[in-house]
Structures are given as C-alpha cells and as structure tokens.
Amino acid sequence: MNARRRGLTAALLAAPALANRGAAQGTGQGTAPGLQPSLNSLSARANAGTVGVIAGGIDGTYARIAADLAGVLDEPDGLRVLPILGKGSVQNISDILVLRGVDVGIVQSDVLAYARRERMLPGVDQLIQYIAKLYDEEVHVLAAPGIERLADLAGKPVNVDGRGSGTAMTSTLVFDGIGIEPRYAPQDTALEQLRRGEIAALVYVAGKPARLFSSIPADSRLRLLPVPATPALLETYLPSTLSPTDYPTLVTGAPVETIAVGAVMAAYAWPAGTERHRKVARFVEAFFEKFPAFLRPPRHPKWREVNLAAQVPGWTRFGPAAARVAAAR
C-alpha cells in the first residue's frame, strides 16, 4: 500500500474518534479540519471508477462471468467492477433501468422481446442496449426417476426458479400446452426438493456446465430430459446438446437434445457526455482491450464461445461498443 493510500486509510479509521472528540469538546464540528475534503475526494475518485454489474444467482454462470469481469478489469485506483447477485433476467432489466448503482447487467437475449410483449417496462426498447452478446445458455430440465419426456410432467410440480427470472420466462414457452404446476423456489432449494421427491423436475437456464449439478452422484437416478427443438421454439432459440463431457454423472450415453438462448451484456442507454455514459464507456474500452485475458484459465470456459462482433436481433448496441466493433472491422 503506497503512502498516499495509507494516509487515506488512516484518516478513515480515525474519523469516528475525531468526530466524537470534537463533539465532546463542544467544538460543534463533527469532523477534524481537513478530513472532510479528503473523504469527499476519496469518495469522488472511488465512485468515478466503479461499475456495478448485476448477474444471477450464486450457483449460476452469470455470477461467475461477473466475477471474471472484476478479476480481469479491476485496476488499482482506476476501474473497479462490483459484481451483484441478481434475481433473473426480467428483474435485471428492471434493475438496470431504476436501481441505483447498477450500470451493467447480464440477461437472456429473449428478455427484451418478453418485456416488450408483456408491456412490463415503458420505453424499454430505447432505454436498454447491449454491449456484447456473450455465449449461449442451455435449457436444463432435471427430472425425478420415472420421468422420461416433457409430456410426463403434465400436472406435476416443476420448479422454474424465482418469479421474474429468465428460467421462469423461458419455461412458459418450453411447457406451452403441457400444463405443469410451476414452483418458484431458489435452484439449490429445488434440487434438494427434487432429491426428496417433493417436485417432479426443475428447469434451469445456464451455461453448461452448470455448477448446480456438479455434486450430483452417478447413482442419484435423476436424469436430464431432452427438450426437442420444435419449429415454434426455433423462432426464438437455438438447438444444442448436453454431453457426457458436460455432465459425466447425468449423461452416460448419447448427448441429450436441448435448446439454448443467448446471454447478453446489457447497459442503460445513457446520453453521450453524461458522467454515467463516460463510466460505462470506460468499462467498455477496458473490456474490449483486455478481452484476450478472458480466454485463458482460470476464467469460465464459456468465454471461449464469445464473438464480440456478433449482433443480437431486436437490440441496439451501446454506442462505444458499436464504435469498437466498427473499428475492428
């Protein structure tokens, strides 16, 4: 720690004592002379370089991606990324719009169309833009013994993650016409419920391999169900598979058919020239400049699927990110 930072830290630690001593001596001043300007300067510097990134639950891929962003992009006395645990894509979009301290969020690419269709957030098309398409997330349907296909879940309790989550949103399309009994427990709780036989299945949209399933033993008798890529689903999603390499204890034969949805790094469409626009633009510059570092261990393997030039249909790219892509071309 350099001398300047040691001095600021000492000032912070001394502030309560100095304030109390001033009050006890009847000075009428709660802060020692010269301390308040130092605190103001420290606060301004810290906030100018801090970008809040709202992700997903602790067991999801979003949280690990946000942690990677902090690990790669943080700079001493410069840019600082604060990963924030979120409650799913729909809530993340709302948080980007209105929650103080949230500058960037990771969401499913289908959430903007969903919010528009449901008329959830006024002006969402103009206010939410994307920095980059990240990778594809696979739809996992983990079922109890005796369940072999999606149709077998008709009328049965199926956990679809929290209300407002991307998984809950996707489940409405995956189970269209099947008529499940949706439950909204956190995913780690749902996995325990599934093991105890209290629910028939759980749905989880996450980039493979999802950490939630890493501790399931081979003798659990739980299985990943195929999610057929029907013409209706292919209007929004991509075909994909879950292989034994992804889940050696759950997939022992041929890969399991499923569908995937893109993950998007989204931001509020701040007007150019504003302080918040400059802050997010700084984050974007660092992200593009240091992107090769995300492709090396110990970063999540999903980074190797990212194409920074990829476009997201129905979305507008954030200006500084669009400029970087155009310059690269």
Q: Which segments in the chain show pLDDT lower than 70?
A: 1-37
pLDDT computed for residue 9 by the predictor: 37
pLDDT computed for residue 60 by the predictor: 79
CB atoms under 10 Å from CB of 253, counted, come to 6
The residue count for the chain: 329
pLDDT computed for residue 11 by the predictor: 38
pLDDT computed for residue 12 by the predictor: 33
Q: How far apart are CA 32 and CA 10, in angstroms?
A: 13
Q: How far apart are CA 190 and CA 202, in angstroms?
A: 7
Q: Are 171 and 182 in contact (CB under 8 A)?
A: yes
pLDDT computed for residue 61 by the predictor: 85
Q: Are 142 and 206 in contact (CB under 8 A)?
A: no
Q: Are 206 and 60 in contact (CB under 8 A)?
A: yes
Tokens matching residue 129: 């833009």
Q: Are 109 and 263 in contact (CB under 8 A)?
A: yes
Q: Where do the H-state alpha helices sit in the chain? A: 3-24, 35-48, 61-73, 89-98, 111-117, 124-127, 166-174, 187-195, 275-289, 291-294, 319-328
Residue 197, φ and ψ in degrees, nearest 5: 80, 15
pLDDT computed for residue 58 by the predictor: 83
Query: What is the DSSP track for 189-246?
Result: HHHHHHHTTSSSEEEEEEPSSPGGGTT--TTS--EEPP----TTGGGT-EEEEE-TTT
C-alpha to C-alpha distances, 212 to 172, 203, 298, nearest whole angstrom: 22, 12, 19
Burial bucket for residue 167 (CB in 10 Å: 0-12, 13-18, 19+): buried
**pTM above the 0.85 mark?**
no
